[in-house]
Amino acid sequence: MTGRDLRHRVEYVFLRIVAGMCRVLPEGLADRAGAALGWVVARVGRPRWAVVRDHLRRAFPEADERWRSDIGRRCYAHLGAEAVAVFRLAGTGRREVRERTRVTGLELVEGAVREGRGVILLSAHLGNWEVGGAALVARGFPIDVVVARQRNELFDRYLTRSRERLGFGIIPRSEGRRGVLAALKAGRLAGILGDQDARRAGVFVDFFGHPASTARGPAVLALRSGALVVTLFAVRLPGWRPRYHVYLQALDDEAVKRGTGGGRGGRAARVAAMTQAFTTRIEEYVRRYPDQYFWLHKRWKTPPPQAREGGAAGPAGPPA
91 contacts 98 by C-beta, under 8 angstroms: no
Q: What is the mean pLDDT of residues 119-144?
A: 95
**Local structure of 12: helix, strand or coil:** helix
**pLDDT interval class at 261 (50, 70, 90):** low
Q: Nearest to residue 58, comparing CAs of 290, 244, 249, 240? A: 290
| Farthest CA pair distance, the chain | 60
The residue with greater pLDDT, 142 or 263, is: 142
72 contacts 53 by C-beta, under 8 angstroms: yes
**pLDDT interval class at 77 (50, 70, 90):** very high
Rounded percentage of the chain residues whose pLDDT exceeds 90: 62
Phi, psi (degrees; rounded to nearest 5) at 109: -70, -45
**Local structure of 312: helix, strand or coil:** coil
pLDDT greater than 90 at residue 16: no
Give the bridge partners for 249, in sequence order.
231
Q: Is 101 exposed, middle or buried (0-12, 13-18, 19+ CB in 10 A)?
A: buried
Distances (CA, A) of 85 to 17, 29, 78, 128: 15, 12, 10, 9
307 contacts 314 by C-beta, under 8 angstroms: yes
pTM of this structure? 0.89
249 contacts 282 by C-beta, under 8 angstroms: no
What is the rounded distance in angstroms from the CA atom of residue 307 to the CA atom of residue 309? Answer: 5
pLDDT greater than 70 at residue 33: yes
pLDDT greater than 60 at residue 276: yes
**Local structure of 38: helix, strand or coil:** helix
Q: Which amino acid is at 126?
A: L
